[in-house]
Structure 1
Amino acid sequence: MPSASGRAPAAPRAGGAPSGGGSAAGGPTAPGVSAAAPDGAPAPAIGAAGGPAPAGPTAPGAEAPFGAGTSAAQPPGAGAAPAEPAEPPAEPPAPSPGIAAVRGLGPLLAALRVTPNRPPVGAPRPPRDPGRVYAPGSDLGAQLLAALDPRLRDGLYAAWRTVDLTAPLALHELQAMRQTATPFGATAPLKPVYDAQGRVIRYEDWPLTGSKLTSLRVGYDGDGTAPRRVELSYTEAGGSVRTAFSLPSDDGTHDFGPGSVRITTHEPAEDDEGPEQPTEQELGVQLELRPDLPERTVFVARPGDGGLIHVAIGDADPVEYRLAPGDEESTIQGELTITVRRAPEAEAEAVEVTFSSELALTSRNVIALDAVYDGIAPGSWVVVSRPRKGVAGQIPGDPTLAQVITRVTGVRVLSRADFGITGKVTELTLQDPWLDDEDRLLAHIRDATVHARGEPVALANEPVTEDVGGDEIELDGLYDGLAPGRWIAVTGERADIPGTVGVPGTELAVIAAAEQRVDPQRPGDTVHTTLRLTASLAHRYRRDTVTVHGNVVPATHGATRDEPIGSGDAARAGQSFTLWQAPLTWLPSDSPLGAESTLRIRVDGVLWHEVDSLVGRGPAERVYVTGRTEDGRTTVTFGDGAHGARLPTGTENVRAEYRVGVGRAANVPAGRITQLTTRPLGVSGVTNPVPATGGADPDRPAAPPGRGAPGPAPATRAVPLAVSALDRLLSLPDYADFTRGRAGIGRAAAARIHDGRREVVHVTVAGVDDIPLAPDSALLRGLRAALAEHGDPALPVQVAVREQVLLVIAGSVRVHPDHSWELVEPRLRAALYDRLGFQARELGQPAHLSEVLAAAQSVPGVDHIDVDTFTGIPGSLTPADLEGLAGWLTEPRPVVPAESARYRVERHTVRAGGGETLTEVAAANGITVAELLRLNPDITSVRRLPAGSRPVVFHGIRPAQLAVLDPALPDTLILKEATA
């Protein structure tokens, strides 16, 4: 058997492609894989498929435990208590994972009803519970939809695998910023301030390039009562001009920077000199700044009453300040920002006035970095972080500029000379500004950090760290073909051994059900497969080490032979034959001997039984004894008519099925079986996940008794179909016969029906062997034209493809003791398919429970059958119907109706307390929102439909139904052996 294997570490990852080659890849199942194992306990063998196989059920590709991105959804919570009338209604509980996954099919149906897809085939062997098989979330639900509507078959799982059924993810993109930089000048030293003699008297920060900074400082005498010195500074583009004047001796006009300044000192009048000082003139110093400087008149007074200093700045919009020691105030006048500061008491008395011009708009979105950085491209993301921006007492301005996330629109490399330093830097032009009007000084950007050169980072799913154990395994994605009854091998590092790690373990399990689940409350979650096992795993495994092999078959040492060993002759007594191959393989059993032979003898297809001796056996008993020749070959001896029955006459009618090969050499460790003796198409490799044990060399001949039951040949029947074609269509049978006579049509039925507006002839068709027929296919287009040409011109004709009703049968079968369940079950299955399959059914023909019983009783070896379920699933099945599908299987129905074509108006009842959206209603019924609006022209709003609303979801003629048992869906026929 091919294998499917994979791993699920912290992030979801499948271990191989669905149909990839190589020993680790998965693929379709192929029959006939043999693997060497001992003649003791069987060892599972796993093969790897590299392509499609000629037969056998479909298997998944690579499966792995669900590793990340999802978690087991919690069951729906209890409903909220009734709210007060004024309060909004409580949120409804979240749907279960299975129901949520089934509801996810609804939005996909309309888009996927285009091309057919063949569902998985292959009959499961272990008995299954119909309630589980048809439970919400079961993988069978999707298979039913695909089988009922061939247009869904191609692409259903591919679309379902990635459909987004969860809340939107808040994070749309994640980037790792690989480059960190600072703005140019962020580490520059402070600007020195010199006196008239060129001595550094203090340091101050630089203005940002692009602004002009004019400052004046008025110093007072030692008593702090009269201004005695003025220091002026002008800075632009990194260059500065500084000068100082003594008061009042330097009163007058002086050149300064790009303009000039006029200084006037107002001193108190002396008693013996000049006229009296005008009483309205306050004492202090006045500075008039002339053109190319900020045109302002600044007056700084002597300290007045209360120790306050009056500062007046005059222009068209004068401002005044009264400053206490340590006060600082700012005012914006047009393009200027005026800052007035008085020295604190601990310093010499002084008043400083600073004029800074507004930063140019183009400079607000330009940032020069502190060096040359390669790899920053236009269009890339950049983050400018300024943690002190907008914080009270820190850097004034817009707090939203504390972190600017924007794109780069331009990049260039240039040489920069500013702030007393030079260097070659990268200059970025940003899409959005990162500075505002308050950013005047270099101190305002010294704490800035620039993150650039981002690289996209894929979002990692949330890891699931719980160990793998119990009876459920969540896989890392959605996989189809994991049929119930399949064996899997789970390998990984055991987590149930305390105090140690690294101990590997492997165990086998059987799939009880494959369910598709999604957590609707987890953003980004997609539908994924959960395997339910028939029994809990014996160990727990570390999730990131687990591999699940999907295609597992039991294998024993030896090669299978099925060959004739002779011809029976009723005239001869005690006939004896020798097997062609040796040594005969024996396998462990629960018999008193502890082993049983693999030899099975069938004469004319009927199983004969091995006994220890023919003595005492009756003349009609089909028995034989075995012996050994000197060279180790096995002989088979039959009765003489008195002690055991003679062989019936026939040509090579005595066939032996057996295996050859025994010995301790077959006891090999895990992973040692890697070669196939024969390689079926599509199988690329094989391995044994568990060691082979129990092999032993033969020590003496032995002939333990055999067991089994003959299996009669399957019974089939053919139902002839009579058709006739007429040139003129005068009656409804004429329409049906004419249609059946056309190539490609296997079934046809005609009915005269009112479609809600007028009377029409409705013709329902099914393809030969029920091949898919698209409504717009050339075959149906030609049929419509022919019916219109030969039929009544006054009577419109409608042609539609049949609506399939899938019969579902589940029952327990009692097999006659002399017959083998392994032989009877496929024959019974074939008989039921013959009786209830397409070739035996007509459109509108109901299926009766009595037909099931009659077909079962016609199979040799069937003692009786107890039918537990007999029902039908119509082609109008919707995702909403899937939620209650298991409820249809509670008891067998005497008759499964198959209706003829009929006019129907079907409505959807809104039952949710908070109502349903149009999308939810459409999805629940497998139609589009546009179709829903067409059927309900009274719906003119996109608001939720209130509870109790009954919108129309179908309005028209339903085609005739065809009730069939479909062999392409083996889970619709569940047969199990009754052992009691």
Structure 2
Amino acid sequence: MSVDTISDCGCCSGVEVDTPSAKFNRPGLPAIAYRVGTHADFRQTLLSRLSSTDYPALAPLTTRATDDYTIALCDSFAVLADVLTFYQERIANEAYLGTATERRSVLMLARLIGYQLAPGVAASTALAFTLESAPGLPAMAAQPVTIPIGTRAQSIPDPNQDPQTFETIAPAAARVEWNAIPAQQSEPVPFRKGLSELYIAGTTTQLAAGDGLVVVGTDRESNSTSALWDVCWIARVDIDLAHDLTHVVLSESLNGAWDPNDPGPQGIKVYAFRQRAALFGHNAPDANLIRTTSNSQLFEPTSDGATTYEWKNFAIDTTSKKVDLDTAYPKVVTGSWFALAGNDSGGTRHVELYRVNDVVELSRSAFGLSGKTSRLTRDGTQNLAAFSRRETQVLAQTDELTPVERPLTYPVYGSTLVLDELQPLLVPDQLIAVSGKRQRVVIGAATSGISFPDFPGRKPMPGESFILRSPPLVVLNNGVLPAPPELLDPARGSKRLVLWHLEDRDGAPIDIKAPINVLKLQGALKDDAVVSEIASIAHGPLSVQSDRDRTTLTLKAQLSYCYDRSTVTVNANVAPATHGETVGEIAGSGDAAALNQAFQLKQSPLTYVSSTDPSGRASTLQVRVNDLLWHEVPSLYGHGRLERVYAVRQDDDGKSTIQFGDGRQGARLPSGLNNVRLAYRKGIGTSGNLRAGQISMLLTRPLGAKSVVNPSAPSGGQDPEALADARTNAPLHVLTLERAVSIQDYVDFARTFSGIAKAYGIWIEDVRARGIYLTVAGPNGAAIPQDSATMTNLVGALRRYGDRLMPLSVQNFGAATFKLKAKIKVDADADPEKVFSAVTDALRAAFAFDNRAFGQPVTIDEVYATIQNVAGVTAADIDQLYRTDTGPAPSEPQARLLAGLPDLKAGAVTAAELLTLDHAPLDLGVMS
């Protein structure tokens, strides 16, 4: 028989044994190989046994045809073995935390080490209520309205969103006068020596440069010898239409005997002199020209032995209170003021103020003159010897002006907030909502001294407007310091060099280094958006301080924005709230004869809120049996037979089940009809992380409540834990054992805390900032506000379960992005549109928040590999690769983009950065 004939008969098939095959799994694989063979391997092995000399009885069976009964039986066994080994491998994979793919497997494996998959946590925010201020509710102004616990508000959904319900979790006092408290808009002008400007109410004062003003204190009104007055002249007048006032700049500052502690214009009056006059006889003929021997009795020598003469009684009578003006002035009335101004023989200027006690009009003839005159009776005769009839100027006909406080134009930021009203009923730890538009600055006509640290080649453009992104810094020789808001006041005339953190018209951040007087403060534009935030009054007796007109608040943290002062309002009718809606139900009836009774919640998901527990969450479920409250415990194990406790387990589909004790570990339920009653809230996850202002529908309306809004975006909402996160977090739970000792413990503790998606920690040894510094990020890269429940509870938990004396700082990560421009060559047989879409998806997935770590750089090789791994891509060429915050795109792609890690700079520790792909559309082109 030929070889071909032997091969064709198939009797030599299956000459090798392929099962069981040896398996080796290296560490770190996402799945383990456990099957000893497949259908083909088992069939091949069985056929090899038929040809083996170990089984001589089977030697006569030479056929290998598939329709032979023996071969068919072998094939059937191979199918059975294939199925069994497939599921055996799946079972083996499900037995390990790192390779399990079923949520239930991960859940049960985690329970073996005392870890439960996190059910998620509800978002938290604060709701600001506006009370009805309509007539008919006068009592509300005197008595506070209480916003009770459980007040519900609902969001207005955006496209592809569902309405979300939030409920207040603490009562809050509310008042009508707290609806919109303005920030301080002006400050008192202290009338003291050195004052060189006044602010007068109104814009139609008809004041002009050169006019005279008189400032009179109350003491001068009743005491003619009092020095509490000043006569001054106007150097410049500015009309301020925005504040409806007139700004008057004096040619000389006040030099009177003013009280340096005087807080403002109370008791001070300001008058404008509307008439300039002279004394009667100021224009009398020169006596030396008309004196003759026949009229010599009308004249007298100017001094003993003098040969020059003057009219008799021409000198001002220093004993008489009568003053005759050069003509009749009918508008000079009793009770007004007039001033004499003139120079003495030595050239020294003298001014004296008098009150008009009486005024009469009469005709007078003297000094060779005759005519009508206004005779004024003054209230004193002091210092008359300093004046002469010819040289003295009379300022009269006073018109009272209304001095007002100086308007403030510098922005509102920092941790101190001064209200423009007296609000002494505000209390420490109270929440407030601050709203307004952000402050703008504009480059003035003079651009000397302006530089752009990040863009050295950029030229300043006069008139270009920017938004103040964060508080500016004063540049010093050895670093920078925060600039207090009042330093930006134009009235101070400061020329300090400042580093301005700004935002251009495209919303891009930009820094400018320039003197304060070069960049001008500019009011918010009409189209600028109103921003809001929640702040908390600091704890302590000095956090709320009131004077006679205003209340000053000290806040727990710095304000997030720099506000245009004229737009700022404060709403103090604020209550904390969390995502979820309260429901109540009857779970069922207790049976004292039953062991471990269990009831499933009819509605899901059960709401968990942020807390200071090591897990970072607390259930909202309340269980009452026969009206007695029972308490939730992580496990019934170890609890006494009479303890009223229960445990909650959550299924894969999010359903929650309550399990009670068996009389040995935890008490049994007492018998009763429908005696198990539940109260809980439903709603959880990232669906509650809404935008600011989206919660605006009141579902329950407390007395007097008109409307509601969330000034800041809800934060901290987290979906139930995913399998990938559980594989990472479950071992961390064992490593920390709910304690934080080392730096890694602090990181692991924070990473497993509800509402925290990523964490990074570092120890700073430098004495200027010694301590532990954690950088955290919320789900999907969301920022966690410093005053949010998640951040507050995390810090509280770390101090509670860590070293209380250890300096600790927790801050948000630095969100950095990069852009790229690339050309792609698509396979001729591929659909270009689908390939470009797949490349975009691959890049966004590879460089998304979930797949990046703090401080992880982006390399050009990594980008190339991501693009070229897409099916249909034959070649790629990256033209640009750069960080978004480094300015214009460079001509050549950078080989490596770095992400910063915490570092001590200028006395402050920076946060870790996480570098992701920018959200802007990708610039992908076709390679020729």
* Shared fold per TM-score greater than 0.5: no
Return the structure number with greater relative CO, CA threshold 8 A, min gap 6.
Answer: 1
- State the TM-score, normalizing by the size of structure 1: 0.34
The structure having more radius of gyration, on CA atoms, is: 1
